[in-house]
Structures are given as C-alpha cells and as structure tokens.
Structure 1
Amino acid sequence: MFSGLAHALAPGTPVERGDGEAAVTEDERQLNALLAAQRGAEHARLWTNSRCLVTTRRFARMEGFADAAATSRARGWPVFVRTSGGTTVVHRPGILNFSLYEIAPVGAVDINACFQRFTERLIIGFAAIGVSAETGWVKGSYCDGRFNIVSGRKKIAGTACLVRKSGGWFGVLAHAAINIEGDTQADLAAITAFERGLGLDIPYAPASHTNLVARIRMRG
C-alpha cells in the first residue's frame, strides 16, 4: 500500500524511516538548504515517523504545555513542535508523509497555485491506486482545513504549507500526512488527551476519519 501510493506521488523517491523530532525538523532543514542554493528547484520527500504528536508553536506557547507534553510522553505519545500552522496531528507508522518543495524567483511563485497543484497531485496519486478523493472541510476532524484530502466524506489526509523568502528567492514547502492504515480512534484519543491538558476541549469525531486500507476494502 505504501509503495503503490509512494510511486504514484513521487516515482523513484525512496520512503525514509524517520524517528521523532529529527524527522519533523528535516522538512524545514531541507527547505532552507534548497532556498540557500538560490536556484529554481522542485524536490519531493516521502517519509514515515515513529509514534508521536506534532503540534504548533501557538500551542507550545500555552500555559501548561510542558506538563501536557510530559504527560503525553508518559502515555507513549511524545510531543514535538512544527513551524507550520494548524493544530495537533499524529505521526506514526501507518502514516505516509509527503513533502514537496518548490524554489523559484520572487514574483514567479503564486502560493495558492502552488498549493493547488500539490493537492491535485495527491488526488491524482489516490486515483492511480483506485481511490477517489477531493479537497474540503470535514466537521469533527483534527487539524481541519479546506485543503484536507477527503474520501467518502471522511478525512484521509491533512495538508499544511510553509513559506520562506531569501534574497530574491521564494521557497514553498507543501506537506501532507496520509493515513494509510492504523487505529484512527487511538489517534484521536491521544490528541484529545494532550489538548485537554492545555485546557482545550475540541469535539473531534471518530467517524470523520478514515484510512486508505478502509477505503480500498469498501471499494472491494
């Protein structure tokens, strides 16, 4: 399942096996390195990660973050912080991360068009393995957004974007976390417990999430 979708998204790109915070921060490191080269480029990264929660700087600044993160780690879900926006998400084996970097001169990049191309690439990749998908909001899903990848009216992947500028060059990192297989209810329980430790109580709905294995079984 991993290999079929990985090939459809980025042929010839190996899937890296990441481990926690280093796998998360590698996205930003690669974006900065490509931007520093000061030349046009497109680069794809496919990767998995060990089991963890990845949250935002906004949440990391909240009172009680250190205690909530420590408690989450004790439950087997260490918490790391990313630079892009949104809310808390899950990384674990069974989730395929797809990062796409685009470097171009300032004025030659339309961020919205760039992200639109990225989501279209995801939808085409799903179609190549026989799963129909579209973009849209999904009520009750974690880290909800209008560029969710949705299949059967359920969220199957979340997306995010990070933009950097250096001199006369612009860098865009688009990222998707694609749920291939695994227990989405356990994912929601981990996110909910951590965020409640921050004083948040967002009403997530297990029925709003799915994974690729479930969609293929339904198709069959």
Structure 2
Amino acid sequence: MIDFLDASEALAREMDLLEDVSRDPGRRHLWFWESPKCLVAPKSLSSKPGFERAAIALEADGWPVSLRSTGGDVTPQGTGILNVSHVYATEPGEPVDLKREYDRLCTPIEKALGAGAGRGWQPGAFCDGEFNVQLNNRKFAGTAMRIRRGKADRKRSAILAHAIMLIDPVSIDAIGAINRFLSLLGEDRRIDAGAHASLPAGYGRENFVAALSDAFLDQV
C-alpha cells in the first residue's frame, strides 16, 4: 500500500515512527508514500540568508517548501516520485555504523532494480551523495538517515532510513524549481535532469514495490 499525503504530514509521521521504535525497539516499520509536488529541504538551509524569500517565491510558483530533520539537500516531490521510510532498531549493544545502515537501505533497492544497479556519487544530481542508488550510472534514488538513541533501551538506537526514488523520469519543471531555489539562496551549483534515471521501461510501479518490499522484509 502506498499512502498519498502532504510532505509536511509525511515528515511528521516519519518522526512519529522513529519515536515509536525508540520506545519499543521490537517494532519495525516499512512505509511507502507519495506527496503532491513540492520541494523538501533540510532544516539547515532555513538558516541561510534569503531562505524565507526563496520559499515564498517557490510557493508562488506552485512549489511549496517543506523542511525535514534528516540531512541531505533539496529534493522534489510529486508525480512519479516514490518514497520509502524504513524505521527499525539496532541490535542491543551494537554501535551505529553509518555505512552498514546505508547498506541496509540501499541493498534492497539495488536488488529490486536488478541489472545495472549500483551506488555512488552522481555529479549534477539533486541531493548528490555517496549513498545514491544508481541505475546504469545515473541516479535513481537519494538517501538520508536520522538516528536516535533508544528511550526504552539505551543500548539500542532507532534508525529512520529514507529513500526518494524516481519511478518516472524527473520532470524539467522539478529541476527548474530546484535550480531557482538554489539560485535564490545564492548557490552557484545547478542540477541536471540528465544525471537521473527512472524505472526501466516495462517495469511497473506495483511490481517494483512488491520486489522492494520483499527485499526489505528478507533482511534479518
């Protein structure tokens, strides 16, 4: 099942799921969701001069800006974009290893994509990072994470792992909105639509989500 709700509501729900796992480390959540078109930016950008002016300008263009507490950079939401939020606890006494936790997020996506999947930096992509999931050397998914020390068990941590996936080719409108936002914030970098991939032709969203769900749930 894929939920459809405003990005601000989805981001708040992610925090509720993280709190739930923090209080009950035996719980685990795998949640797929989509949002109307908007931009999502890390809270760190809200302290930049010009942020409020930029957000007002983008909302007037039909691209309201929501803030998230995970890291990363500006990302779009809207038609053809699917999010997965995986929330779980580490094992008792297991120190948090970011590479291992990102591997737990990226590997199921790679398995669901199949041939041509990998990970790594992708110059020109939005929210570029070491743990992008690539398809045929272009960015298919961006990833981010939030970690909280467990409240019920201080020897365990609650992990919120999130990926944004391009089911359909990223729209030129979305790329233009990100670039305008970055420009208004005084950033000199630009995002390139050609740096991104989407699901292969003939691989439907429902089949991909089923394969991805199985890959996540197969994890120990």
Same fold at TM > 0.5: yes
1:147–1:158: 8 Å Cα contact kept in structure 2?
yes
Report the equivalent of 1:142.
Answer: 126
Task: Quickly say closer, same or farther: Cα 1:57–1:136, change in 2 above 3 A.
Answer: same
How far apart, CA to CA, are the structure 1 residues paired with 2:76 and 2:27? 29
Distance change (3 Å), C-alpha of 1:183 and 1:204: closer
Matched, 1:84 2:70: yes
Post-superposition Cα deviations, 1:161-194, rounded to whole Å, max 9, x if no partner, equal 1101134131111111000114432221110101
Aligned residue type for 2:166: N
Q: Provide the residue aligned with 2:5 in structure 1.
A: 18
Between the aligned partners of 1:126 and 1:110, the Cα distance in structure 2 is 27
**1:24 positional shift:** 2.1
Instruction: State the match for 1:179 in structure 2.
Output: 166
Which consecutive unaligned segments of at least 5 residues does structure 2 have? 204-220
TM-score, structure 2 as length reference: 0.84
Cα deviation digits, residues 143-165 of structure 1 (max 9, x gap) = 10011011121111111111011
CA drift of 1:94 comes to 1.1
**Deviation of residue 17 (structure 1)?**
0.9
Task: Name the amino acid aligned to 2:66.
Answer: F
Q: Deviations over 1:108-135 (max 9, x none)?
A: 25432122122111111112xxx53111
Contact in 2 for aligned 1:123/1:133 (Cα 8 Å)? yes
Q: Give the aligned partner of residue 51 of structure 2.
A: 65
Query: Could you tell me how far apart the structure 2 residues matched to 1:147 and 1:182 are?
Result: 20
- Pairwise mapping of residues 162-201 of structure 1 onto structure 2 (< 5 A)? 162-167=146-151, 168=154, 169-201=156-188
- 2:61 match: 75
**Runs of 5+ unmatched residues, structure 1:** 1-13
Q: Does 1:113 align with 2:100?
A: yes
Tell me how many residue pairs correspond in the alignment.
199
Code of the residue aligned with 1:151 in structure 2: it is L
C-alpha deviation, 1:63, in angstroms: 1.2
State how far apart, in whole Å, the 2-side matches of 1:26 and 1:191 are: 24
AA at the equivalent of 1:95: I
Q: After TM superposition, which residue ranges in structure 1, 4 or more long, deviate above 6 angstroms? A: none
Q: Which amino acid in structure 2 is aligned with residue 200 of structure 1? A: E
Percent identity between the two aligned chains: 28
Residue in structure 1 matched with residue 112 of structure 2 by the alignment: 125
1:156 matched to 2:140: yes
Once residues 24 and 150 of structure 1 are traced to their aligned partners in structure 2, the CA distance between those partners, rounded to angstroms, is 24
* Secondary structure at 2:130 match in 1: coil
> What is the distance in 1 between the residues matched to 2:130 and 2:88?
21
Distance 1:183 1:140 in 2: 13
Does 1:102 find its partner at 2:116?
A: no
